[in-house]
């Protein structure tokens, strides 16, 4: 097993402090390296769709929650591509980190996927959560859930693994339970009081009246049933079918204000990314204008490209750009988000930013579904969703993939990752994920050579958080 699982060149991956997770990671990492499990133990050949099918370099995965990172890694190891792995990561986050990424969430992704990309540059898949048409009678208006349709579009357009298979993985995790991670426990500690007042949330996160402990089994039977229904009936059931009816019927009970029309109108889209010219034939891509965190990250990047040390100026430009896009003089306190990044062995890449509009969204679970509802953007200000990517204009090869989070510093985190990687001419780009001031966090994958030569690539998550970065060689 290569030391690259912990360090790649000058990249340092997040160490896992949770002993329960450490055991799971150890078992998973047995499949890494230059052979398959069958090669190690003399069993039958590993088939496509089974982790261990891909030998040698299969890519890299970075996210804010270790079990989500491992889920993406397993998909790549089984022969899936970056879009498949990204969908698996997000679905896993709905089970392991619903504080920031439940099925009710929304977000946006950048995608570089060979000849499926527009003009050889990254596309953007946008699935922002819209506010309900009317908030009359709603004391905690909920956003229409967008994650399922957004991930389905990502998988259908760019992936190769059946979406039902990815849903099945999340279903199994929710039914059998997963160790409660430190990332989830940190978020629970912030909102434990109001969250425990909701019966659905209390049953999941406060079993027996006590907050779930780190490493304890987090079991979510209602969420598992929801995923089972989506797997059998299709994602459309959440918007037009039985689950949609259940959401609308239960909406008044939790003051959400969602209607059948709100669910029908919740549609994702593929749109061109925001593009800037970078040095040495680089194209620097950000989330599009409709995602104001993309405008903010681009503004910060422009400052840092001229003066890498002007962190204050970059942040000021980022926030000014976002405020102008929202038509305000300044931004209020912004809510939480989460990000991840994936690179596969074929050079495809995806980076996404996802949000509930608030920690645990409205703080209420849609009755009978196990799904935390995201906060309406008309009720609370949405976060600055930020993600970026650098590709080569001539070859379309991916050089950097970065996702950012951390309230007002999310755009700065992405801009610093891209600018610093382009300024570095070493064999492996020198990137410090801790460079962004708190509360900014970055998840980064970067290559200064051919993607299929892993010695030229590195991956990192910010050690101030609780995520995990992993890859293979």
Q: What is the pLDDT of residue 245?
A: 98
pLDDT score recorded for residue 18:
39
Judged against a pLDDT cut of 50, whether residue 199 lies above it is answered with: yes
Q: How confident is the model at residue 137 (pLDDT cuts 50, 70, 90)?
A: confident
Q: How confident is the model at residue 5 (pLDDT cuts 50, 70, 90)?
A: very low
* Whole-number average pLDDT of the chain: 88
Q: Does residue 84 carry a pLDDT above 70?
A: yes
The answer to whether residue 270 scores a pLDDT higher than 60 is: yes
- Structure confidence by residue, pLDDT tens digits, 21-31: 333 433 343 33
Q: Is residue 38 predicted with pLDDT exceeding 60?
A: no
Q: Which of 16-20, 186-190, 416-420 has the lowest mean pLDDT?
A: 16-20
CA dihedral over 400, 335, 210, 463, signed as positive or negative: positive
The set of long-range contacts for 19-26, using a CB threshold of 8 Å and a minimum separation of 24, is 19/215, 20/179, 20/215, 21/66, 21/67, 21/179, 21/181, 21/215, 24/67, 24/70, 24/179, 25/66, 25/70, 25/468
Q: What is the mean pLDDT of residues 444-448?
A: 89
Residue-level pLDDT at 115: 54
Confidence check: pLDDT of 457 > 90? no
Residue 43: pLDDT band by 50, 70, 90 thresholds? Answer: very low
pLDDT mean over 378-404: 94
pLDDT attached to residue 135: 80
Residue 316 has a pLDDT of 98
Who wins on pLDDT, 217 or 137? 217
pLDDT digits (tens, 9 = 90+) for 157-194: 999 999 999 999 999 999 999 999 999 999 999 999 99
pLDDT band, residue 74 (cuts 50/70/90):
very high
Lowest mean pLDDT among 134-143, 159-168, 350-359, 372-381: 134-143
More confident residue, 368 or 25: 368
- Domain-by-domain residue ranges, the chain? 3-471
Where residue 450 falls among pLDDT bands split at 50, 70, 90? low
- Decide: 332 and 340 in contact? Cβ < 8 Å: no
Indicate if the pLDDT at residue 14 is higher than 80.
Answer: no
What pTM was computed for the model?
0.90
Mean pLDDT comparison of 42-56, 337-351, 422-436, highest-scoring range: 337-351
pLDDT for 232 equals 98
pLDDT for res 448: 79
**pLDDT class for 331, splitting at 50, 70, 90?**
very high
Q: For 198-211, what is the mean pLDDT? A: 96
Those residues with Cβ within 8 angstroms of residue 296's Cβ, 6 or more apart along the chain or in another chain: 318, 319, 321, 322, 384, 386, 411
Q: Binning pLDDT at 50, 70 and 90, where does residue 68 land?
A: very high
% of the chain residues with pLDDT over 90: 76
What's the confidence (pLDDT) of residue 51?
Answer: 77
């Amino acid at each position: 097993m290569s030391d690259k699982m912990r360090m790649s060149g000058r990249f340092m991956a997040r160490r896992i402090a949770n002993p329960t997770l450490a055991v799971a990671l150890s078992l998973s990492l047995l499949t890494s390296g230059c052979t398959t499990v069958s090669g190690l133990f003399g069993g039958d050949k590993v088939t496509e769709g089974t982790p261990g099918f891909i030998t040698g370099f299969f890519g890299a995965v970075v996210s804010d929650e270790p079990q989500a990172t491992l889920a993406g890694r397993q998909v790549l190891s089984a022969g899936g591509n970056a879009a498949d792995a990204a969908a698996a990561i997000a679905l896993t986050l709905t089970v392991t980190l619903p504080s920031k990424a439940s099925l009710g969430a929304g977000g946006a992704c950048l995608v570089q996927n060979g000849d499926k990309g527009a003009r050889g540059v990254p596309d953007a898949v946008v699935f922002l959560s819209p506010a309900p048409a009317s908030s009359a009678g709603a004391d905690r208006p909920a956003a229409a859930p967008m994650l399922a349709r957004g991930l389905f579009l990502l998988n259908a357009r760019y992936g190769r693994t059946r979406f039902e298979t990815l849903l099945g993985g999340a279903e199994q995790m929710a039914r059998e339970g997963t160790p409660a991670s430190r990332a989830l426990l940190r978020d629970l500690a912030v909102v434990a009081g109001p969250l425990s007042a909701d019966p659905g949330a209390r049953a999941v996160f406060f079993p027996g009246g006590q907050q779930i402990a780190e490493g304890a089994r987090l079991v979510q039977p209602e969420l598992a049933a929801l995923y089972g229904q989506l797997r059998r009936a299709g994602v459309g059931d959440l918007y037009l079918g039985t689950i949609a009816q259940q959401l609308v019927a239960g909406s008044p009970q939790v003051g959400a204000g969602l209607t059948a029309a709100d669910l029908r109108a919740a549609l994702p889209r593929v749109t061109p990314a925001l593009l800037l010219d970078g040095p040495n034939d680089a194209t620097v891509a950000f989330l599009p204008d409709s995602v104001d965190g993309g405008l903010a990250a681009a503004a910060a990047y422009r400052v840092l490209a001229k003066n890498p040390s002007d962190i204050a100026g970059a942040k000021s430009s980022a926030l000014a750009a976002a405020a102008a896009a929202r038509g305000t003089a300044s931004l209020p306190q912004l809510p939480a988000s989460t990000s991840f990044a994936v690179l596969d062995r074929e050079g495809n890449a995806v980076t996404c930013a996802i949000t509930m509009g608030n920690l645990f969204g409205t703080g209420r679970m849609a009755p009978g579904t196990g799904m935390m509802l995201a906060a309406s953007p008309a009720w609370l200000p949405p976060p600055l969703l930020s993600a970026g990517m650098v590709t080569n204009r001539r070859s379309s090869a991916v050089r950097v993939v970065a996702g950012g989070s951390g309230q007002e510093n999310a755009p700065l985190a992405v801009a610093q990752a891209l600018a610093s990687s382009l300024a570095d001419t070493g064999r492996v780009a020198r990137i410090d994920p801790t460079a962004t001031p708190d509360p900014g966090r970055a998840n980064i994958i970067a290559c200064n050579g051919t993607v299929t030569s892993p010695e030229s690539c590195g991956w990192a998550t910010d050690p101030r958080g609780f995520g995990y970065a992993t890859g293979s060689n």
